[in-house]
A and B are shown apart, each in its own frame.
Chain A
Amino acid sequence: MSDAPEVKQPVITPVRVIIALCLVAPFVAMLWVSSYAKVDPDFIGIPFFYWYQMLWVLISTALTMIAYKLWQRDQRGRKSAGSQA
């Protein structure tokens, strides 16, 4: 996903690593089913299995939002760097 090929800029930057982590985290959490395949502790009577996954809807939304903001900033930075060069 490298943009602005005309300017030499590193493809992997700390910001992009954070973006990648934000996007990968939900996969790790959700595909590791045995970490949440249990009934206790419950929340207002809803077993752990269900409320934990619903909580992850919110967590992954927040993570995607962070990734989006960081990506926007990354792109803006590159564009202005590109126009100066």
Chain B
Amino acid sequence: MNNGVNGVALTVFILFFVAVTVMGFLAARWRRSETDSLDEWGLGGRSFGTWITWFLLGGDLYTAYTFVAVPAAIYAAGASGFFAVPYTILVYPLIFTFLPRLWSVSHKHGYVTTSDFVRGRFGSKGLSLAVAVTGILATMPYIALQLVGIQAVLDVMGVGGGEGTNWFVKDLPLLIAFGVLAAYTYSSGLRAPALIAFVKDTLIYIVIAVAIIYIPIKLGGFDDIFASAGEKFSQINPATDKPVGALAPGSTGTWTYATLALGSALALFMYPHSITATLSSKSREVIRRNTTILPLYSLMLGLLALLGFMAIAAGVKVQNGQLAIPQLFEDMFPDWFTGVAFAAIGIGALVPAAIMSIAAANLFTRNIYKDFIKPDATPAQETKVSKLVSLLVKVGALAFVLTMDKTVAINFQLLGGIWILQTFPALVGGLFTRWFHRWALLAGWAVGMVYGTFAAYGVASPTQKHFGGSSKEIPGIGEIGYIGLTAFVLNVVVTVVLTFVLKAVKAPEGVDETSPEDYTADAGDKGVQVELPSVGAGAGH
């Protein structure tokens, strides 16, 4: 890929990396409270205001992998990769309606995870376990992909090692990056990524702003960029006998585009890491206010996606599409700014990886360890277990990336999206109504999981026999659509039908520990745990 190590870029990259490492460890003292509970470590004491939440959520949802993968998809096939933009447009009106309710009920009852809520609402440990396991399964490959993002940057800088170097030298930089990440997540909890997210997003915004102005000027304007992209996409792919891509989706592609956007939007806030960042905010208003400022990231994502076209126009030729954007930066920018851009991507991987591992660890601790293994665990024990599990999760992700082919991580990530969407009826349905029967929800979830997995397994692509993509013909409609959404519809149908049946036979409903006014409670209302007693620093925010 590269004819040697890019010294200047590497130095700048390392400087930034060291700076955020120091920040990560110091974060433990930031807005610190004296108590040793899972709320403190895993939700930052639930004390974050509008701006911290904004950075945290932005840092969490728009990951390094996003930055690498979205333009990579555009680079490879054009229009179809742009669905990420309508997807993130739809997320915010959607969460506007249900997240504040989740915040309220969680603060009223001290829920840390979505499974906590599902258990409390439906009185079903089984359903809660299903949600927890789905969350953990879906998060693991996501963490692994963050590493793939760092690897892409390291490769282009020339420190990823070529094919010939031995595995230890090749993977050493990644191991170091990961060791550091694991250490400060362990010691500082959610405070570390919250603080580092400031740096990450500032860097990302600067890099995008520069890239979107500087690169088109160098390439002769958007007219030329899209002209050369159009030329590339009109070439015929020998494997499929169709053009390799398009500047706008054709009539057959519109269903795929719309279902992918909708399905992904529904799935995003089912991911444990999104919920962790949400619950760490200090009031219901913070969340609603955030839905009005988070779209700034969508705009950035759109601009970023356009970089994929610029990579084509700039004549970037890479076998692995993931390297297209890092390579574009290296070709276009002066060395020092390449370093800044790479640091942005690298740090962009650390923030979500930290939050994801915390979220997965919280799920394990609350909904598997406490519910099934040690019901009388003290808050201090919970925190300890969560810290350890966050380490394990990261080591698992690392092993995944180092031992298996990158495509395996991508396949699992694709499956993860389909899986996590199947928890939507229990979670969002549960936030608005208690009508659904817990066993029906469990059955619907199982059907969605099984259908989604098999359908995805059966998708072939020119390069892969299985898991070749995430869309397939929708049974009964005949159009090509996102598998996750089809599985979701199936899930809902099964849930509704079985709820009628189970209600008719008077199957036990389970105890609902929540009451209607819990869903609208706000900070300051009676019985709402706003902050833990000894937090003083966060109150003035």
Interface positions of A (Cβ within 8 A of B): 1, 3, 5, 22-24, 26-27, 30-34, 37-39, 42, 44-50, 53-54, 56-58, 60-61, 63-65, 67-68, 71
Is B396 in contact with chain A by the CB < 8 A criterion? no
Interface centre among B82, B248, B291, B520 (most CB of A within 10 A): B248
Give complex CA distance A46, B302 in Å. Answer: 12
Could you give, for residues 52-87 of chain B, a 1 whenever the CB lies within 8 Å of some chain A CB and a 0 otherwise? 000000000000000000000000000100100110
Contacts of B221 in A (CB 8 A): 44-45
* Majority-rule SS of B interface residues: helix
4 nearest CB pairs, A to B: A45-B222, A45-B223, A33-B254, A30-B86
A49 to B432, CA, bound (A): 36
Q: How many chain-B residues does the 8 Å CB contact rule pick out?
A: 46
B90 in the interface, Cβ–Cβ < 8 Å? yes
* CB within 8 Å for A5 and B517 given contacts A39-B247, A54-B85, A64-B291: yes
Q: Which of B263-292 contact A (CB under 8 A)?
A: 288-289, 291-292
The answer to whether A34 and B251 have CB atoms under 8 Å apart is: yes
What's the Cα separation between A51 and B261 when bound, in Å?
17
Report yes or no: B97 in contact with A30, Cβ–Cβ below 8 A. Answer: no
Using a CB–CB cutoff of 8 Å, the interface residues on chain B facing chain A are 79, 82, 85-86, 88-90, 92-93, 96-97, 101, 221-226, 247-251, 253-255, 257-258, 261-262, 288-289, 291-292, 295-296, 298-299, 302-303, 305-306, 432, 516-517, 520
Cβ–Cβ contact A3 & B85, under 8 A? no
Q: 14 A-B contacts, Cβ less than 8 Å apart? A: A30-B86, A30-B90, A30-B258, A31-B258, A33-B253, A44-B221, A45-B222, A45-B223, A49-B249, A54-B85, A54-B299, A57-B302, A60-B295, A67-B96
**Residues of the A chain whose Cβ atoms lie less than 8 Å from the Cβ of B292:** 61, 64-65, 68
Complex interface: chain B residues within 8 A of A3 (CB): 520
Q: Could you tell me if B82 and A26 are in contact, using CB atoms closer than 8 angstroms?
A: no
Least CB distance from A19 to B in Å reads 9
Q: In the docked arrangement, what's the CA distance between A32 and B302, Å?
A: 19
List the A residue with the shortest CB-CB distance to B432. A1
B91 to chain A, nearest CB (A): 10
Contact of A38 among B93, B248, B295 (CB under 8 A): B248
Query: Within 8 Å CB of A65, what residues of B?
Result: 292
CB-nearest residue of chain B relative to A53? B85
Give the residue name and chain of the B residue nearest to A47 (CB).
B247
A53 in contact with B302 (CB, 8 Å): yes
Q: With a CB–CB cut-off of 8 A, which chain A residues contact B520?
A: 3
Q: In the docked arrangement, what's the CA distance between A31 and B237, Å? A: 28
- The closest CB in chain A to the CB of B93 belongs to A23
A61–B288 Cα gap in the complex (Å)? Answer: 12
State whether B250 touches A37 (Cβ < 8 A): yes
Residues of A within 8 A of B92 (CB): 60-61, 64
Question: Do residues B226 and A26 form an inter-chain contact, with CB atoms below 8 A?
Answer: no
Return the contact of A37 from the options B224, B249, B295 (Cβ within 8 A): B249
Contact (Cβ within 8 A) A33 B299:
no
* Pairwise interchain contact A71-B288, C-beta atoms closer than 8 A: yes
Instruction: Considering the complex, give the chain A residue whose CB is closest to the CB of B98.
Output: A1
Contacts of A44 in B (CB 8 A): 221-222
Q: Is the CB of B258 within 8 A of A54?
A: no
Partner of B295 from the list A32, A50, A61 (CB cut-off 8 Å) is: A61
Contacts of A64 in B (CB 8 A): 92-93, 96, 291-292, 295
B516 contact set on A, CB distance < 8 A = 5
Q: A27-B90, A33-B258, A38-B248 are in contact. Are A46 and B79 (CB under 8 A)?
A: no
**Alpha-carbon distance A15/B88, docked complex (angstroms):** 26
**A37 lies within 8 A of B248 (CB):** yes
Bound-state CA distance A1–B262 (Å) is 22
Cα-based distance from A31 to B257 in the complex (angstroms): 8
Residues from chain B with Cβ under 8 Å of A33 in the complex: 249, 253-255, 257-258
Highest count of chain B CB atoms <10 Å: which of A22, A56, A57, A68: A57
CA distance A50 to B302 in the complex (A): 8
Question: Could you tell me if A56 and B89 are in contact, using CB atoms closer than 8 angstroms?
Answer: yes
Residues of B within 8 A of A37 (CB): 79, 248-251, 253-254, 257
**Contacts A45-B221, A64-B292, A68-B289 hold; do A58 and B299 have CB atoms under 8 A apart?**
yes
Q: List, in ascending order, chain B residues with CB within 8 A of A34's CB.
A: 251, 254
Within 8 Å CB of A42, what residues of B? 226
Q: Is the CB of B97 within 8 A of A1?
A: yes
Q: Is the CB of B82 within 8 A of A49?
A: yes
A31 to B261, CA, bound (A): 8
- Docked pose: A7 CA to B516 CA in angstroms: 14
Contact at A53–B86, with CB atoms within 8 Å?
A: yes
Residue in A42, A56, A63 whose Cβ sees the most chain B Cβ within 10 Å: A56
Q: Measured between alpha carbons, how far is A60 from B257 in the docked complex, in Å?
A: 19
- Assess the B96–A53 pair: CB atoms within 8 A: no
